[in-house]
Amino acid sequence: MADYKKPERWGDPQSKLFPYQVGFTAPPHDFDAAPTDFLKIAPEGVGVHGRMLHVPTYAHELKQRTDNFNLLEEFVHCMANNGADVTGQVGTNWVHCNGTTPEEIADFCARLSDTYETPFHMAGYCLVEALHELGAEKIALNSVYYWPDWRDGIARFLKQAGFDLIYYGNFVDLGLYDTQEQVNDLNWIFPGDAAVTSMQRTVERASEADVIVVNGMPNFRRADGLPQRMVSLVAGIEDLIGLPVVASDFALYWRILKTLGLSSAGAHGRLLSTLN
């Protein structure tokens, strides 16, 4: 839609519900925590609106993401019409499901941002941007719950971005579970100690890393049973392992806040502190 024009009323602050309006989308069949988590760390004046990608028979297969990649453009178009100032896509492995390179994803995001007059950020590419922000060269990847083809795809993507990936492994590789089926059965929610244990084991396998990367959107139960993502845990984990951490959830939040020219509310690790 090269002739698209964003509705003029969104240029008038009096037409908006919030001074800063953010649109999120996530993979089908996931009730996603990103809008809730983002609001917890965003300053006052930020509003969030979510829109799921609709694929009725979705089963979290990479090919399904390839087949439905066009829905990302539909999402940005919809959010632009609704007055979003910036949009964010949750789900790391959409950047590599087509075999695309970081340069191709950067071009794709730029095209959608320009066409719909609304910045668009993909979580997988935000990892690359965040690692550059921290000056990382040698990295290790804690691939958490990722299936082997997902793990290998994001590892390839990070290597193509120019990083020296000295280790990558998922929860099975790290010895937290015996089989991928055990991991899958937990539906992305893991015991609270899995966060720290997996990070410690990643560091043991990659002591020379500058930064530890966490892909995907893993959730870890705290003592009262409430699941938390890495944004809630990163400060304590960084203190424990002595290294910066870049995870897909808060890399996306960081990029959105940077686009809006805002800082995060509270302390949430080294990456988000660069906004202050």
Distance (Å) of CA 198 to CA 33, 129, 213, 247: 21, 24, 12, 13
Same domain for 161 and 238: yes
Same domain for 238 and 140: yes
Within a domain: 215:
yes
CATH number at residue 100: 3.40.50.12500
Within a domain: 11:
no
* pLDDT for residue 60: 72
Within a domain: 173:
yes
CA angle 118, 122, 124 (to 5 degrees): 165
**Prediction pTM value:** 0.96
Q: Which range marks the domain in which residue 93 is found?
A: 20-126+251-267
Same domain for 154 and 122: no
Same domain for 162 and 122: no
Yes or no: say if 213 and 128 are a contact pair by the CB < 8 Å rule. no
Helix, strand counts (H, E) of the chain: 11, 11
Provide the β-strand partners of residue 260: none
Same domain for 94 and 168: no
Same domain for 257 and 224: no
Same domain for 263 and 206: no
Same domain for 255 and 220: no
Q: What is the pLDDT along the chain (276 residues), one digit of tens a residue?
A: 568 999 999 999 999 999 999 999 988 888 899 999 999 999 999 999 998 888 788 767 767 667 778 899 999 999 999 999 999 999 999 899 889 999 999 999 999 999 999 999 999 999 999 999 999 999 999 999 999 999 999 999 999 999 999 999 999 999 999 999 999 999 999 999 999 999 999 999 999 999 999 999 999 999 999 999 999 999 999 999 999 999 999 999 999 999 999 999 999 999 999 998
Within a domain: 158:
yes
What total of structural domains would you count in the chain? Answer: 2
Same domain for 168 and 85: no
Would the CA dihedral through 96, 56, 119, 42 be positive or negative?
Answer: negative
Within a domain: 3:
no
* pLDDT for residue 2: 61
